[in-house]
Structures are given as C-alpha cells and as structure tokens.
Amino acid sequence: LKPLLDDHHHHRSGRKGFENGDLEIRTNDETIRNLSTKLMNPAILDVEFASIPQKRISAGASTSQLPENLCRNRVKSILPYEDTRVMLHPTRKNPHGYINASNVQVPIGDRFFKYVLTQAPMKNTAEDFWHMVWESGSRIIVMMANHSIEQFSIYWPLKTNEKLRFGDYSIRQQSCTNTRNLVTTIMSMKSLSSGEKRTIYHLSYSGFRQDFD
C-alpha cells in the first residue's frame, strides 16, 4: 500500500525546499481527472514507478532506525532519508515527529510539483498520518494497493456520514464513487483544536503491483 499525497503546490525550478506556510491550496477537477487517468492506466504507473531510483547509497536514515521508531515502519527495508523525510511537529506520543514518509519534487517543464510519498498507515501510525496530511496542507490522497495485501488498518471512513477521530482530527465521509479499480471518496477533515475544516479527496486504486526485496 502506498498513499501519495498531493498538496497541489508547485515551485519554479530555482526555488528550493518544502514550505507548509499559509499559501492557499486550490484543488480543482482537472487535477482529479489527471490523477484518475493515470490510475486507470497501469502501464503509465509501471513506467513512472520503474524510473524511481531504488536507493541512494550516501544518504542516511538514522531517525527511522531509532528503537522507538522501528514500530512505525511497515517494511523494515523501506526507510525515509534524513534530508527528504517529512518532519512532523513533535507530540507526546511521537516526540521525534517521525513518520515513514518522504518529500518528493517532480519536475514538469520549468516547474516542480510537490508530493509526499508514504507507506499505508498502520493502526499505530494513523494518527501521525492525518497529522501529516494537515501540516503539509495536502488535499488529495492517492492510495495504491496490491491485491496480495488483504488486511490493513482502515484510516478513512468507508460509509457516507461515518466519522472517525484520529488525535486532534475528525474525518467524515461526504460521498463515495466506485469505478472499476478506482474508488473516489470525498471527506471533510476538521481540526478539533482550531475548528478549521478542509475538504480531502481520497483516490483508492486496487490494481497496483509492488514487490519488496
């Protein structure tokens, strides 16, 4: 399982870093259509996934290997590098602000689009996952699942108007549509401490193939 978060920001090629600032995030129908088209065409996904380098020999991943963080890694051989990993604001439950997730920039023309690549949330990391969704300002979640993985923690509401709580965040399903291997769920995410609400789009694709070494 590989959720991919799209915060719908882009950068000029000379601008570096990942910013969570106060920029307004706009999610439009065109973005949803483009992502849906890719998910419905496995050949495109295979080509893009195969182009990703497997490992960076010189990069470290020390935080992911701290004893208290080992339980937050779904697969022990897939760990985020120090210079690109997502760093959450520390909490009592997660004092290092660690999550198995990486910031990724994809160049398209003279622009860079920013994404977060992460593992599927586990029961003990679902709260961290939604914490990351909120802090990164992500509005689109793409979850790609391998049919061979039969059981995983449910981190989003499956029924209309169903509501789930993860730490400071309340997640409620507004609507859901199902077409072939793709399920599109629209949710309302609320910060219980601030009262702010955001609309989140969750695209679940069940035809993704993956291999772990």
> How many structural domains are present in the chain?
1
Give residue 1's pLDDT.
45
Strands 140-144 and 197-205: parallel
CA dist 211 → 33, 50, 147, 187 (Å): 27, 11, 12, 30
pLDDT tens column, 156-208: 999 999 999 999 999 999 999 998 788 999 999 999 999 999 999 999 987 76
Q: Assess if residue 143 is contained within a domain.
A: yes
Q: Kindly state whether residue 161 falls inside one of the protein's structural domains.
A: no
| DSSP letter string, 140-183 | EEEEE--TT-------S--STT-EEEETTEEEEEEEEEEETTEE
Residue 160 within any structural domain of the chain = no
Residue 83 lies in a domain: yes
pLDDT (0 to 100) of residue 183? 92
**What pLDDT score does 205 carry?**
85
Q: Would you state the pLDDT for residue 147?
A: 56
Can you give the pLDDT at residue 27? 55
Question: Along the chain (213 residues), what's the average pLDDT of each consecutive run of 10 residues?
Answer: 51 37 51 77 76 69 95 94 96 96 89 92 96 97 70 86 98 94 94 98 80 49
107 assigned to some structural domain: yes
In a domain, 40, yes or no: yes
Q: pTM of the full predicted structure?
A: 0.73
Q: How many CB atoms lie within 10 A of CB 127?
A: 19
Do 1 and 152 meet the contact criterion of CB atoms below 8 Å apart? yes
* CATH code of the domain containing 121: 3.90.190.10
Domain hosting residue 145, numbered range: 2-15+27-51+71-150+175-183+200-205
Is residue 123 situated within a structural domain?
yes
In a domain, 155, yes or no: no
